[in-house]
Chain A
Amino acid sequence: SQKIEQNSEALNIQEGKTATLTCNYTNYSPAYLQWYRQDPGRGPVFLLLIRENEKEKRKERLKVTFDTTLKQSLFHITASQPADSATYLCALDIGQAGTALIFGKGTTLSVSS
Protein backbone atom coordinates (compact mmCIF):
# COMPACT_ATOMS: atom_id res chain seq x y z
CA SER A 1 0.00 0.00 0.00
CA GLN A 2 1.03 3.60 -0.44
CA LYS A 3 2.35 5.30 2.69
CA ILE A 4 3.96 8.52 3.82
CA GLU A 5 5.64 8.47 7.20
CA GLN A 6 7.12 11.36 9.10
CA ASN A 7 9.67 10.01 11.53
CA SER A 8 8.10 11.02 14.77
CA GLU A 9 4.99 12.74 15.95
CA ALA A 10 6.97 15.03 18.26
CA LEU A 11 10.50 16.39 18.34
CA ASN A 12 11.89 18.46 21.21
CA ILE A 13 15.14 20.39 20.83
CA GLN A 14 16.95 23.27 22.46
CA GLU A 15 17.22 26.70 20.95
CA GLY A 16 20.19 27.08 18.66
CA LYS A 17 20.36 23.41 17.67
CA THR A 18 19.54 21.97 14.27
CA ALA A 19 16.20 20.21 13.92
CA THR A 20 16.07 17.36 11.41
CA LEU A 21 12.70 16.00 10.33
CA THR A 22 12.30 12.92 8.15
CA CYS A 23 9.72 12.02 5.54
CA ASN A 24 9.71 8.50 4.11
CA TYR A 25 7.34 7.19 1.47
CA THR A 26 6.58 3.89 -0.20
CA ASN A 27 4.92 2.99 -3.48
CA TYR A 28 4.87 6.55 -4.77
CA SER A 29 7.03 8.13 -7.44
CA PRO A 30 6.53 11.84 -6.86
CA ALA A 31 8.03 14.34 -9.23
CA TYR A 32 7.88 17.01 -6.53
CA LEU A 33 7.87 17.15 -2.78
CA GLN A 34 6.81 20.07 -0.62
CA TRP A 35 7.14 21.03 3.04
CA TYR A 36 4.59 23.08 4.93
CA ARG A 37 4.35 24.54 8.42
CA GLN A 38 1.08 24.49 10.35
CA ASP A 39 0.35 26.36 13.56
CA PRO A 40 -2.57 25.27 15.80
CA GLY A 41 -5.95 26.23 14.38
CA ARG A 42 -4.50 27.61 11.15
CA GLY A 43 -4.00 26.45 7.59
CA PRO A 44 -0.63 25.11 6.42
CA VAL A 45 1.93 27.60 5.12
CA PHE A 46 4.23 26.68 2.23
CA LEU A 47 7.95 26.51 3.00
CA LEU A 48 9.87 24.74 0.25
CA LEU A 49 9.35 22.74 -2.94
CA ILE A 50 11.97 20.37 -4.31
CA ARG A 51 11.94 18.54 -7.64
CA GLU A 52 13.01 14.93 -8.17
CA ASN A 53 16.11 16.04 -10.09
CA GLU A 54 17.21 18.37 -7.28
CA LYS A 55 19.17 16.89 -4.43
CA GLU A 56 18.99 19.86 -2.11
CA LYS A 57 17.16 23.18 -1.70
CA ARG A 58 17.85 25.98 0.76
CA LYS A 59 15.92 28.99 2.00
CA GLU A 60 17.41 31.06 4.80
CA ARG A 61 17.72 28.67 7.80
CA LEU A 62 15.82 25.89 6.04
CA LYS A 63 17.26 23.07 3.98
CA VAL A 64 15.50 20.14 2.34
CA THR A 65 16.97 17.10 0.61
CA PHE A 66 15.19 14.64 -1.66
CA ASP A 67 16.55 11.14 -2.28
CA THR A 68 14.34 9.30 -4.77
CA THR A 69 16.40 6.11 -4.38
CA LEU A 70 15.88 5.97 -0.62
CA LYS A 71 12.37 7.44 -1.04
CA GLN A 72 13.16 9.96 1.65
CA SER A 73 13.25 13.68 2.26
CA LEU A 74 15.04 15.37 5.14
CA PHE A 75 14.05 18.82 6.38
CA HIS A 76 16.53 20.79 8.46
CA ILE A 77 16.07 23.96 10.48
CA THR A 78 19.41 25.37 11.59
CA ALA A 79 19.87 27.69 14.57
CA SER A 80 16.36 26.84 15.72
CA GLN A 81 14.29 29.37 17.66
CA PRO A 82 11.21 29.01 19.89
CA ALA A 83 9.23 30.70 17.07
CA ASP A 84 9.99 27.64 14.91
CA SER A 85 7.75 25.55 17.18
CA ALA A 86 4.94 24.21 14.97
CA THR A 87 3.82 21.11 13.08
CA TYR A 88 5.75 20.45 9.88
CA LEU A 89 4.05 18.57 7.08
CA CYS A 90 5.64 16.73 4.18
CA ALA A 91 3.55 16.55 0.99
CA LEU A 92 4.08 14.46 -2.12
CA ASP A 93 2.85 15.74 -5.44
CA ILE A 94 1.54 12.59 -7.09
CA GLY A 95 -0.87 14.05 -9.60
CA GLN A 96 -0.30 15.05 -13.15
CA ALA A 97 1.60 18.28 -12.70
CA GLY A 98 0.26 19.37 -9.40
CA THR A 99 -3.20 17.88 -9.22
CA ALA A 100 -2.88 16.10 -5.90
CA LEU A 101 -0.86 16.70 -2.75
CA ILE A 102 -0.69 13.78 -0.36
CA PHE A 103 0.33 14.83 3.15
CA GLY A 104 2.02 12.98 5.96
CA LYS A 105 0.67 13.24 9.51
CA GLY A 106 3.25 15.82 10.41
CA THR A 107 5.92 16.19 13.06
CA THR A 108 5.34 18.63 15.91
CA LEU A 109 8.54 20.47 16.71
CA SER A 110 9.03 22.16 20.08
CA VAL A 111 12.04 24.44 20.52
CA SER A 112 12.80 25.36 24.11
CA SER A 113 14.84 28.37 25.16
Chain B
Amino acid sequence: ETGVTQSPTHLIKTRGQQVTLRCSSQSGHNTVSWYQQALGQGPQFIFQYYREEENGRGNFPPRFSGLQFPNYSSELNVNALELDDSALYLCASSYQGPNEQYFGPGTRLTVT
Protein backbone atom coordinates (compact mmCIF):
# COMPACT_ATOMS: atom_id res chain seq x y z
CA GLU B 1 0.00 0.00 0.00
CA THR B 2 1.52 3.33 -1.09
CA GLY B 3 1.19 6.26 1.28
CA VAL B 4 0.37 9.86 0.44
CA THR B 5 3.12 11.61 -1.49
CA GLN B 6 3.57 15.29 -2.27
CA SER B 7 5.80 17.20 -4.64
CA PRO B 8 7.88 19.21 -4.56
CA THR B 9 9.31 19.00 -1.05
CA HIS B 10 10.43 22.60 -0.97
CA LEU B 11 9.69 25.57 -3.20
CA ILE B 12 10.76 29.20 -3.28
CA LYS B 13 8.64 31.68 -5.22
CA THR B 14 8.47 35.44 -5.61
CA ARG B 15 5.48 37.53 -4.60
CA GLY B 16 2.95 37.74 -7.42
CA GLN B 17 3.93 34.42 -9.00
CA GLN B 18 1.77 31.35 -9.31
CA VAL B 19 2.49 27.88 -7.88
CA THR B 20 1.15 24.36 -8.35
CA LEU B 21 1.56 21.71 -5.67
CA ARG B 22 0.85 18.04 -6.29
CA CYS B 23 -0.46 15.19 -4.20
CA SER B 24 -0.90 11.47 -4.81
CA SER B 25 -3.52 9.86 -2.61
CA GLN B 26 -3.14 6.63 -0.74
CA SER B 27 -4.33 3.70 -2.81
CA GLY B 28 -8.12 3.24 -2.59
CA HIS B 29 -8.89 6.65 -1.13
CA ASN B 30 -11.42 8.80 -3.05
CA THR B 31 -11.21 12.05 -1.09
CA VAL B 32 -8.38 14.56 -0.78
CA SER B 33 -8.15 17.56 1.53
CA TRP B 34 -5.63 20.39 1.48
CA TYR B 35 -4.36 22.30 4.51
CA GLN B 36 -2.07 25.26 5.11
CA GLN B 37 0.10 25.13 8.22
CA ALA B 38 1.96 28.23 9.33
CA LEU B 39 4.85 27.86 11.76
CA GLY B 40 3.62 27.12 15.29
CA GLN B 41 0.00 26.76 14.19
CA GLY B 42 -2.31 23.87 13.51
CA PRO B 43 -3.26 23.00 9.93
CA GLN B 44 -5.94 25.24 8.41
CA PHE B 45 -8.50 23.63 6.09
CA ILE B 46 -8.34 25.00 2.53
CA PHE B 47 -10.71 22.69 0.67
CA GLN B 48 -11.66 19.09 0.00
CA TYR B 49 -12.29 17.21 -3.25
CA TYR B 50 -14.43 14.13 -3.71
CA ARG B 51 -14.96 12.51 -7.10
CA GLU B 52 -13.29 15.46 -8.83
CA GLU B 53 -15.67 18.04 -7.30
CA GLU B 54 -14.97 20.54 -4.53
CA ASN B 55 -16.77 19.19 -1.49
CA GLY B 56 -16.11 21.86 1.12
CA ARG B 57 -14.00 24.98 1.46
CA GLY B 58 -12.41 26.87 4.30
CA ASN B 59 -11.87 30.60 4.63
CA PHE B 60 -9.42 31.01 1.76
CA PRO B 61 -9.71 33.44 -1.18
CA PRO B 62 -10.49 32.27 -4.73
CA ARG B 63 -6.83 32.55 -5.75
CA PHE B 64 -6.49 29.19 -3.96
CA SER B 65 -7.93 26.60 -6.32
CA GLY B 66 -7.65 22.89 -6.81
CA LEU B 67 -8.22 19.90 -9.00
CA GLN B 68 -8.77 16.23 -8.42
CA PHE B 69 -8.07 13.77 -11.21
CA PRO B 70 -9.80 10.46 -12.04
CA ASN B 71 -6.99 8.56 -10.33
CA TYR B 72 -7.73 10.67 -7.19
CA SER B 73 -4.44 12.55 -7.33
CA SER B 74 -4.79 16.27 -6.77
CA GLU B 75 -3.29 19.71 -7.35
CA LEU B 76 -3.39 22.89 -5.33
CA ASN B 77 -2.89 26.09 -7.31
CA VAL B 78 -2.18 29.44 -5.74
CA ASN B 79 -2.20 32.59 -7.87
CA ALA B 80 -0.78 36.02 -7.09
CA LEU B 81 1.37 34.73 -4.25
CA GLU B 82 1.66 36.87 -1.13
CA LEU B 83 4.33 36.78 1.57
CA ASP B 84 1.75 35.36 4.03
CA ASP B 85 1.30 32.33 1.79
CA SER B 86 4.65 31.06 3.08
CA ALA B 87 3.75 27.88 4.95
CA LEU B 88 3.75 24.10 4.92
CA TYR B 89 1.05 22.81 2.59
CA LEU B 90 -0.34 19.43 3.52
CA CYS B 91 -2.60 17.15 1.59
CA ALA B 92 -4.51 14.31 3.19
CA SER B 93 -6.41 11.45 1.60
CA SER B 94 -9.27 9.47 3.05
CA TYR B 95 -12.46 7.64 2.26
CA GLN B 96 -15.46 9.94 2.00
CA GLY B 97 -17.16 10.45 5.33
CA PRO B 98 -16.02 10.98 8.92
CA ASN B 99 -12.87 8.94 8.65
CA GLU B 100 -9.26 9.40 9.62
CA GLN B 101 -7.17 11.34 7.16
CA TYR B 102 -3.75 10.21 5.97
CA PHE B 103 -1.37 13.11 5.52
CA GLY B 104 1.54 13.50 3.18
CA PRO B 105 4.87 14.96 4.29
CA GLY B 106 3.94 18.41 2.99
CA THR B 107 5.43 20.99 0.64
CA ARG B 108 7.31 23.86 2.28
CA LEU B 109 6.54 27.02 0.27
CA THR B 110 8.55 30.18 0.83
CA VAL B 111 7.42 33.40 -0.82
CA THR B 112 9.99 36.18 -1.01
Interface of A toward B, CB cutoff 8 Å: 4, 31-32, 34, 36, 41-46, 49, 51, 89, 91, 93, 95-106
Contact flags B23-67 to A (C-beta < 8 A → 1, else 0): 000000001010100001111110010000001101000000000
Q: Are the CB atoms of A49 and B43 closer together than 8 Å?
A: no
Q: Are the CB atoms of B97 and A46 closer together than 8 Å?
A: no
CB distance from A50 to the nearest CB of B (A): 11
Q: Are the CB atoms of A99 and B48 closer together than 8 Å?
A: yes
The verdict on A98 contacting B41 (CB below 8 Å), with A43-B90, A43-B104 known, is no
Contacts of A95 in B (CB 8 A): 48, 56
Contacts of A96 in B (CB 8 A): 56
Interface of B toward A, CB cutoff 8 Å: 4, 31, 33, 35, 40-45, 48, 55-56, 58, 90, 92, 94, 96-106
Name the residue among B96, B98, B102 with the largest chain A CB count within 10 angstroms.
B98
Contacts of A101 in B (CB 8 A): 33, 35, 43, 45, 101
Q: Are the CB atoms of A31 and B48 closer together than 8 Å?
A: no
The CA of A97 and the CA of B41, in the complex, are separated in Å by 25
The verdict on A104 contacting B56 (CB below 8 Å), with A43-B92, A98-B99 known, is no
Query: CB-nearest residue of chain B relative to A87?
Result: B42
Query: CB-nearest residue of chain B relative to A96?
Result: B56
The CA of A74 and the CA of B91, in the complex, are separated in Å by 26
The verdict on A45 contacting B103 (CB below 8 Å), with A97-B98, A99-B48, A99-B55 known, is yes
Q: Are the CB atoms of B43 and A105 closer together than 8 Å?
A: no
